[in-house]
């Protein structure tokens, strides 16, 4: 800190006279010196020197004031001197603080905040939107969570064992054909059940979960699946399924129907109806396909005079495959408590992308996956 060249730097004088008037006069001089020196403080480094000169505990000016003006005062003047010295301390402390604010403000412009135009627009950080397929999956999972189901996930790269063998697919079942399944390269040297492929459905997680959790279980399994389908408006080689599995004693087909009917009403509105027709899956017996009454045309097959396209004028939309868990499937996890003589269960699997297409009135599944932000931003 540059002290004034004109006069010698301020030094705390010894007092002979400790009267109120003399103390006040001495204080006045001290504060004038403080102000003088404070006006020379331009940088933070200046300020530190300034602060130490005035406030250092060991030999700062305030300490000297304490020694020379208070401790040295005769008994009868102590009370008065004490009050005055305390006031002085406060003023010096405030003066030192103010000098810092000024130094940080850049000296000439005391208030840095004055240079900030708070009327300017802030920095915009664009928020992403939840992808419509993910949002649909979350909604479906939430419906089942409210029924006491928990969520499980499994790997997208799966073995032949979990994707087919343990789900009771016979060795030459057409679903194992390369027409449908995408196999990983260079697997031929491994035994069939260890060969890797992209899972064609979420059903392998049924077995994986039953291997690690004893009955009773109630789970939903959302996830990506792959099939060797050429992309078009309603097909994509990658899509999403949500699987469900409930195993307990005395689970019946009535439980399956009641659960899925409730879930469809929760998803599409309380007025939709469900209908089951026989079908086939190797891992369920009996198996069914479930339809919901078309929530777009209300089941009439028509929208005004126009045919309803989503339900192809039938009034029904096919939504999922389901059935009672085949006892042959339980055989693979029998040692973990799944004795088909003691437990029964139902399973279902639905396509999340198809449901999202219907829910949001989108007519091309490719829009979900080609990453066009203009399309996705509509779901924000």
Write out the residues near ligand PHE by the rule CB under 6 A. Answer: 201, 203, 243, 281, 284, 321-323, 347-349
| Cβ 327 to ligand PHE shortest distance, Å | 15
> What CA–CA distance (Å, rounded) separates 69 from 71?
6
How many residues does the structure list for the chain? 380
* Residue (of 92, 93, 112) closest to 101 by Cα position: 112
The H or E element that residue 83 is part of is helix 78-104
Which of residues 66 and 181 has its CB atom nearest to ligand PHE in the complex? 181
Which of residues 132 and 323 has its CB atom nearest to ligand PHE in the complex? 323
The secondary structure of 17-45 as a DSSP string is --SHHHHHHHHHHHHHHHHHHHTT--SHH
Which of residues 99 and 320 has its CB atom nearest to ligand PHE in the complex? 320
Q: Closest CB to ligand PHE belongs to which residue?
A: 349
Which of residues 158 and 243 has its CB atom nearest to ligand PHE in the complex? 243
Residue pair 182/228 in contact by the 8 Å Cβ criterion = yes
Which of residues 84 and 227 has its CB atom nearest to ligand PHE in the complex? 227
| Cβ 283 to ligand PHE shortest distance, Å | 6
| Cβ 374 to ligand PHE shortest distance, Å | 32
> What CA–CA distance (Å, rounded) separates 8 from 145?
82
| Cβ 349 to ligand PHE shortest distance, Å | 3
302: phi then psi, degrees, rounded to nearest 5:
-130, 150
Residue pair 15/55 in contact by the 8 Å Cβ criterion = no
Which of residues 27 and 347 has its CB atom nearest to ligand PHE in the complex? 347
Residue pair 30/61 in contact by the 8 Å Cβ criterion = yes
Asked if the peptide bond before residue 286 counts as cis, ω within 30 degrees of 0, the response is: yes
């Amino acid at each position: 800190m540059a002290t004034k060249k004109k006069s010698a730097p301020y030094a705390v004088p010894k007092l002979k006279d400790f009267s109120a008037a003399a103390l006040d006069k001495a204080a006045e001089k001290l504060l004038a010196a403080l102000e003088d020196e404070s006006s020379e403080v331009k940088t933070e480094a200046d300020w530190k020197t300034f602060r130490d000169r005035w406030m250092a505990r060991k030999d700062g000016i305030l300490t000297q004031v304490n020694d020379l003006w208070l401790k040295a005062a005769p008994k009868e003047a102590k009370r008065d001197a004490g009050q005055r010295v305390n006031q002085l301390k406060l003023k010096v402390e405030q003066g030192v603080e103010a000098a810092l604010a000024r130094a940080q403000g850049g000296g000439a412009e005391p208030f840095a905040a004055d240079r900030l135009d708070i009327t300017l627009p802030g920095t915009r950080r664009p928020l992403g939107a939840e992808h419509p397929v993910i949002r649909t999956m979350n909604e479906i999972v939430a419906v089942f969570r409210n029924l006491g189901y928990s969520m499980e996930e499994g790997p997208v790269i799966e073995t032949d064992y979990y994707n087919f063998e343990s789900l009771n697919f016979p060795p030459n079942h057409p679903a194992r054909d390369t027409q449908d399944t995408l196999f990983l390269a260079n697997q031929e040297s491994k035994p069939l059940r260890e060969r890797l492929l992209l899972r064609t459905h979420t059903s392998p997680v049924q077995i994986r979960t039953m291997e690690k959790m004893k009955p009773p279980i109630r789970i939903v399994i959302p996830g990506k699946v792959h099939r060797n389908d050429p992309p078009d408006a309603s097909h994509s080689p990658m899509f999403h399924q949500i699987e469900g599995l409930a195993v307990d004693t005395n689970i019946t087909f009535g439980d399956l129907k009641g659960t899925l009917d409730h879930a469809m009403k929760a998803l599409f509105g309380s007025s939709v109806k469900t209908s089951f027709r026989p079908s086939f899956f190797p891992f369920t017996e009996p198996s069914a396909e479930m339809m919901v009454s078309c929530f777009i045309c209300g089941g009439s097959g028509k929208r005004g005079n126009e045919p309803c396209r989503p339900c192809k004028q039938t009034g029904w939309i096919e939504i999922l495959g389901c059935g009672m868990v085949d006892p042959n499937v339980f055989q693979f996890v029998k040692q973990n408590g799944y004795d088909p003589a003691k437990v029964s269960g139902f399973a279902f699997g639905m396509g999340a992308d198809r449901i999202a297409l219907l829910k949001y009135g989108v007519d091309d599944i490719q829009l979900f996956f080609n990453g066009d932000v203009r399309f996705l931003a509509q779901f924000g």
